[in-house]
Structure formats: C-alpha cells, structure tokens
Amino acid sequence: MNASSAQTFGRLVSFRGRAGHAEFWAVVGLSFAVMLPAFLTEFRWLFWTTHEYTAEVTRSSFVTGETTRFQEQVTNVYLTLFSVEGSWVTIVPLCVVIVPLLAALVRRLHDLGRSGWWAFVALFLLFGLEPLVRAMIEFLALSVPIVALVASLLLGFPTFVLSSAALIVLVLWTANEGEPEINEFGPKPTGILV
C-alpha cells in the first residue's frame, strides 16, 4: 500500500476534520454500491410467500357425536411486503461500510460547525428508539397486556414522528453548504479526498 492509499484509507475512518458535499456523497454512494448486492439478496419486496405444515385436526360430528382425528396438510399463502433475514450476507458488508459512513457523517457535520455527537443522537432516534420502545412494550405485555396495548398506541406514532424528523434533519444538514471559513474542526474541505 503506497502513502496515498494509506492516507485515503485513514481519511475514510477518521472522525476528525471536515467533509464537503462531494466527499460525503461519494462515501454514501460507495457504501450504497457495496450494500446493494446484499440488500438484493436479503430483502424481498411484494412477493407471495407460502408456508406449508402438517396439522393434526380433530373433528366431531354433531349428529353422531363421533370424534375423528387425522393429519391435514395446510398451506398458508400470504403477501410479504417486507421480509429481512439478517445473515452474514448483509452483516459483513454493513460492518465494512458502517465506520466510513459514520466518519463521513461526523466530518460533514463538522463542516457545518456542528458537533459530531449530533450524528449519534440522530442515528439513535432513527434506528435505536423504535427497538427500545418495542422492547419496553413487549416487557409490559408480559405482566399487564392492557397497559402494553395502551403504551403501543400512545408511543407508536410519536416514535415514528421522531424517527422521521431525525431523518429529515440529517438530510437537510448534509445538504446545506458548509462554513466557508476555518472553524473549530479545521479548514474548509476542497474536493473529494477519498
């Protein structure tokens, strides 16, 4: 590996400094290109799915009172709008791109004069809040199901709104022009450094 390649790789995983539009979107595009084959392998959109199993059925005759037991092949057909099977096909590329994506996002926020911690707050609202609320509701459902139902009704929509707002704020922030002068995170970035 030559010095230029080492510098480029170091920049990909560095959380220091600033990243302009071109650099940030180049990292996002590269990450998307790495993840797309995994997504196409793992995700199924709008497919009919069948699930077959054998069930033991008991039938009673109303007239004779006779009970009959037999096994029956059952086939359920349903529409799968979105199905994810998390496996190494998705996890390995995600592990490859997650640090460069986070580093580019933090550096992009630095270019706007914002702390990189805002990226982690926004990402928690996007990806961490909903599973946390769901886990809390499932825990409540174990002891008091009616409270879990009320909590899911009261917390579901606000969780969605907060997650959506975090996504909108991130997109707007990354689309804004950076500060034209030197800020606390370094000089104005020039071109694509990756």
* Summary mean pLDDT of the chain: 79
pLDDT surpassing 70 at residue 140? yes
Percent of the chain residues topping a pLDDT of 70? 78
C-beta of residue 185 within 8 angstroms of C-beta of residue 110: yes
Tokens read off for 89: 């096909």
- This model's pTM is above 0.75: no
Q: What is the pLDDT of residue 7?
A: 59
- Span 87-128, pLDDT tens digits: 677 788 888 999 999 999 999 999 998 998 998 888 888 888
Tokens read off for 35: 């993840």
SS3 state at 88:
helix
Which residues pair with residue 54 across a beta bridge? 73
Question: Burial code of 108-135, b = ≥16 C-beta within 10 A, e = fewer?
Answer: bbbbbebebebbeebbebbeebbeebee
> What is the phi-psi region of residue 188: left when phi exceeds 0, alpha when psi lies from -120 to 50, beta otherwise?
beta
pLDDT surpassing 80 at residue 192? no
